[in-house]
Amino acid sequence: MKLGFVLPNNWGLDDPAAVVDLGMAAEERGLDSVWVNHHVINVGYIADRLGDRPYYDALTVLSWVGTRTSRIRLGTSVLVMPYLHPMVLAKELATLDRLSGGRVVAGLGVGSLPEENEILGVDFGDRGARSDEFIQVMRALWAPGAAQFAGDHYRLDGVVASPKPAQDDLEVWIGGSGGPARARAARFGRGWHPMCSVDGLARRLPRLVEALEAEGRTRADIVVAPRIASSQVPDRAAVEAWAEAGADQLIVGTTTADPDEIASALDHLAGLIG
């Protein structure tokens, strides 16, 4: 079972270098991947947790981690597509992938914070359809040659984007536990990245398989990698239970701003490898 660690760029730590240092520590301890969170505005439940304390930018933090590491994969859990532009993000991710030697995993989601959409001037109700096109636009821009795409929200006619990612097929993981997210993962994803319990994963996985089959794909075509709290893996038996429920990887985060508690959780996670 591959294990990843979610960096606390979203927990208001005073020193962003401490967040980057945890990425280096995760690599030193043998973890497979590190992940960053994404929001733009401290509003709603983000403001309730942080007030005006810092929520550091996802790709900036991930880029710094990439420069300080050499092996560990660099993931986003998850980038909220409606807050971004696919042509800009495609270039950013491709550049990071080239600089890091092909280590990027693009975790993407549609978002669940209407207040943030309102501030950013983004239609909350239309976020699913827009996000489906968003993924297709990025894939078109990453493919060899000039990009073509015609949709309701985006249109490309012979658009040249460079660089292309170092990976021939940069992994896109779809975040979300509900039916629309499963359908999106089955259609577009190399990975499905839900937030759920062990039992919840076991219940939902057959529906993912059905969605994959409807797209002409199989379970072997997708990585199932739940995002969970460190408390959900108290020991190796818990890791095995997740595997039995259908998880291929576990992406583990903390729910604290205490640096000592975060470091302790990372050490605990490293002890579960093997």
Is the pLDDT at 62 greater than 80, yes or no? Answer: yes
Give the per-residue pLDDT at 77. Answer: 98
Q: pLDDT-based confidence at 15, cuts 50/70/90?
A: very high
Domain range for 106? 2-271
Question: What's CA 271's distance to the chain center, in Å?
Answer: 23
Residue whose pair of structure tokens reads 């490898």 in the numeric block: 273
Q: Express as a percent the part of the chain with pLDDT over 90.
A: 100
Residue 58: which region, alpha, beta or left (left: phi > 0; alpha: psi -120 to 50)? alpha
Q: Does 274 score more than 90 pLDDT?
A: no
Half-sphere exposure of 159 (CA within 13 A, CB side): 22
Rounded Cα–Cα distance for residues 40 and 2 (Å): 29
Which phi and psi (to 5°) does residue 150 adopt? -135, 110
Threshold 0.85, pTM exceeds: yes
What is the pLDDT confidence band of residue 97, given thresholds at 50, 70 and 90? Answer: very high
Tens digits of residue pLDDT in 179-190: 999 999 999 999
145 burial via Cβ count (<10 Å: 0-12, 13-18, 19+): exposed
Confidence at residue 248, expressed as pLDDT on a 0 to 100 scale: 98
Give the whole-angstrom CA distance, residue 14 versus residue 43. Answer: 19
Cα angle 274, 194, 261 (rounded to 5 degrees) comes to 55
**What span, in angstroms and rounded, lies between the C-alpha atoms of 92 and 90?**
6
Residue 56 has what pLDDT? 98
The SS3 assignment for 45 reads: helix
CATH number of residue 173's parent domain: 3.20.20.30
Instruction: Tell me the three state secondary structure of residue 171.
Output: strand
Q: If you search the block for the tokens 């929001």, which residue do you land on?
A: 39
Single-letter residue type at 32: D
Average pLDDT estimate for 205-214: 98
pLDDT band at 132; cut points 50, 70, 90? very high
Q: Cα separation of 165 and 58, whole Å?
A: 19
Helix boundaries (H) for 145-250: 179-188, 198-214, 236-245
Please compute the mean of the pLDDT values over residues 117-140 and round it to a whole number.
97
Q: Is the dihedral of CA 11, 14, 19, 25 positive or negative?
A: negative
The pLDDT score that the predictor gives to residue 180 is 97
Residue 268's SS3 state is helix
The tens digit of pLDDT for each residue in 144-175 reads 999 999 999 999 999 999 999 999 999 999 99
Question: What total of structural domains would you count in the chain?
Answer: 1
